[in-house]
Amino acid sequence: MDWHPTENRFAVGGVTSDGSALIETLFPPGNLTGAITLPSRTRGTAAYAVPLSVKLADSGGALVSEHSPTTDVNGYFTLQDLPQGTYGVWLKHAQSLAVMPSVTLDAPSVSLDFGTLAMGDADDSNQINMVDFSILGAAFGTSDGQPGYNADADFTGDSSVGISDFSLLAYSFGLVGVPPPAGGSGAPELRVLETIPPELASARLRFLTNNGSVSTRVGAAFSVTLAAGNSTVGQGSVISLLDGAEVHLTFDPTKLQVDEALAGLTPGTTLPTVLKNVYDNSAGTIDFAAGTLNAAAQGQFTLVTIRFRALASTGSGVTLVQASSAPYRENVLTLDGAAITPTLTPLSVKIR
């Protein structure tokens, strides 16, 4: 198959084994018209005309082409003169999670509805997490032209940052978009600013226990407090300030279970807006996130109290409650859109 750019067509031809000519088959390029839905925005208004990143991938997931269309005021855009074929179409708005439906371009004009985009990605990282909440929190209650306003947190496109923007973020909190095709520019990772406020840099994440360990017996229940911030201020250091904390923990589900009958996970009160509070006793995971839209929390405070029950003896060893190492499950502490990924010393639990 050969591309004839001057004739704007593909041609397949040649000769048979007896030397006769094959009939030439033409495959003219086609146009793809896409449609997106932006929640909490009104079609027909300027808020619907937004720039997009669109990448086409072949059946093997490799990048074919990249495009940067802008929608009209009703959420439509058109990519022109595309070779016919079947593609995965990766699409992302800077404030949304990426989607990637498939389409077969086998006609002069084909339409594809990308559906409603999940909004709340203030840092364009293709995940909605505590960093996005912190960016929104720093701009909360402001409008365009006022100090502190940040258009990145204006998910509704109404030139202000308020409860509707928070609602969009909270609805999709913890979700991750489809990664871009192989060979593309790549998915942005968790944003960690090079310049960290000293009030954030001094913050810590730690279990409040005696010497970082717990000793218990099979069948017993016990509580562990996870604290954020700093408890002491040495010479030359500063008291921590935090507007958000997100933690992802793992534990051995054959040795420990989060005790459903005894509250399980109890949020602290210092960060009152709880965005995630779940555990999975089959997988051995805990996911918790909370923040504040008001004044940042100062010093050390209780983030969450976890109620465990011991299931089986560890013998001479221990089982650990520790930070997750899975992608998109980083522990994060935030302040005004800046973030750090603090280390967390594992909690050792000996069960006799």
**pLDDT number for residue 126:** 96
DSSP per residue over 275-333, as a string? EEEEEETTTTEEEEEEE-SSSPEES-EEEEEEEEEE-S--TTS-EEEEE--STT---EE
**pLDDT number for residue 6:** 43
CB-based burial label for 15 (10 Å; 0-12, 13-18, 19+): exposed
217-254: pLDDT as tens digits: 999 999 999 999 998 766 557 999 999 999 999 999 99
* R_g of the chain, CA atoms, integer Å: 26
The rounded distance, in Å, linking the Cα atoms of 87 and 219 is 55
CATH for the stretch 198-351: 2.60.40.680
- pLDDT above 70 for 194: no
Structure tokens at 142: 């402001």
* Residue tagged 């279990």 (tokens): 207
38-78: pLDDT as tens digits: 999 999 999 999 999 999 999 899 999 999 999 999 999 99
- pLDDT above 80 for 89: yes
**pLDDT number for residue 234:** 63
Looking at per-residue pLDDT, the higher value among 210 and 37 belongs to: 37
Looking at per-residue pLDDT, the higher value among 289 and 9 belongs to: 289
Q: Are 298 and 270 in contact (CB under 8 A)?
A: no
The predicted model gives 87-106 an average pLDDT of 97
Cα-based angle 132, 304, 215 (whole degrees, multiple of 5) = 140
**pLDDT number for residue 231:** 80
Domain with CATH 2.60.40.680 in the chain: 198-351
131-144: pLDDT as tens digits: 999 999 999 999 99
The rounded distance, in Å, linking the Cα atoms of 321 and 339 is 23
* Residue tagged 């969009």 (tokens): 168
Containing 138, the helix (H) or strand (E) segment is helix 130-139
- pLDDT band for position 14 (50/70/90)? low
310-327: pLDDT as tens digits: 999 999 999 999 999 998
The share of the chain scoring above pLDDT 90, in percent, equals 82
Question: Distance between alpha carbon 297 and the CA centroid of its chain, in Å?
Answer: 24
- pLDDT band for position 3 (50/70/90)? very low
Strand order in the sheet with 63-67: 63-67, 53-57, 85-92, 102-105
Q: Give this prediction's pTM.
A: 0.88
- pLDDT above 50 for 130: yes
> Helix (H, G, I), strand (E, B), or coil: what is residue 164?
helix
Give the lowest-confidence range in 15-19, 55-59, 103-107: 15-19
- pLDDT band for position 17 (50/70/90)? low
Q: Are 279 and 265 in contact (CB under 8 A)?
A: yes
Domain with CATH 2.60.40.10 in the chain: 2-116
Cα-based angle 104, 109, 110 (whole degrees, multiple of 5) = 40
The rounded distance, in Å, linking the Cα atoms of 16 and 39 is 57
Looking at per-residue pLDDT, the higher value among 42 and 20 belongs to: 42
The predicted model gives 187-196 an average pLDDT of 60
The rounded distance, in Å, linking the Cα atoms of 259 and 107 is 58
- pLDDT band for position 27 (50/70/90)? low
Distances in Å between the Cα of 304 and the Cα atoms of 7, 116, 212, 301, 352 are 67, 34, 16, 9, 26
**pLDDT number for residue 191:** 57
| φ and ψ of 46, to 5 deg | -60, -25
Class level of CATH domain 2-116: mainly beta
- E runs forming strands in 13-84: 25-27, 30-37, 53-57, 63-67, 76-82
- The per-residue pLDDT of the chain, averaged, comes to 90
